Amino acid sequence: MLTFGVPAKLYLDNGRNFRADDIRIACATMKTALIHTTPYYPQGKGKIERWFKTVRGSFLPWITNITSLRDLNTALDAWVHNEYNRTSHSSLDGATPHDCFLKNIEGRLRRLPKHIDPAELFCRKETRIVARDGTFRINNILYEAHEHLIGKKIGVLFDPHNPSHTVKVFDGPCLVHTATPIDYFGNAHAKRQNINHGNIEQGEPS
């Protein structure tokens, strides 16, 4: 997306991971049409299955020194850009995918609007209620919220694979602050206003 622009359409299989809310929300944010193959119609998956076959036959047998998912993604990215996209394809009349892309790109390349942070496209936004002690939880990690949010319902935006990296706290549509994992000692000794918020319980994901 950052290299070749925002796609007009994203064509995916019907696997559970391909129907996740994260992908649906990201596509809606990018104004990208999300299309899934027709169930029980294997012909509709021909290109995807052919791609998987190429990866298994031309990429996986040659990779070495892979110790993490990051290493695998880096190797796959290099192979796609330097080999697959620059190799002649019979289905393209001998042209390369890269050549075909450049030939048809004029007037069609679309970039993300400046107000959209690419790093946040696949973040998850959920709802929490800030407890009386000014905290809320994400994946059993306790975070501190600003005192004026105690008892209020907030929106939290976070990376589901690394919730401790960045957690943004929203009051309605407004970004209030970036939350950090709780400082247990400081939180226990913090002075707070004596505000009666009723029977407040820790919120659960929406």
118 in Cβ contact with 1 (< 8 Å): yes
Q: Give pLDDT, residue 154.
A: 94
Contact 111, 156 (CB under 8 A): no
Residue 170's pLDDT is what? 92
Summarize pLDDT for 13-71 with one digit per residue, the tens.
888 888 888 888 889 888 999 999 888 877 777 877 888 899 999 999 989 889 999 99
**38 close to 48: Cβ distance less than 8 angstroms:** no
In eight-state DSSP terms, residue 87 is S
- Alpha helices in the chain, H assignment, sequence order: 21-30, 46-58, 69-82, 97-103, 184-188
Confidence of residue 197 (pLDDT cuts 50, 70, 90): very low
Top CATH class, 9-103: alpha beta
CATH class belonging to 123-188? mainly beta
Domain spans of the chain, in order of start: 9-103, 123-188
Rounded to whole angstroms, the Cα distance separating 82 from 98 reads 10
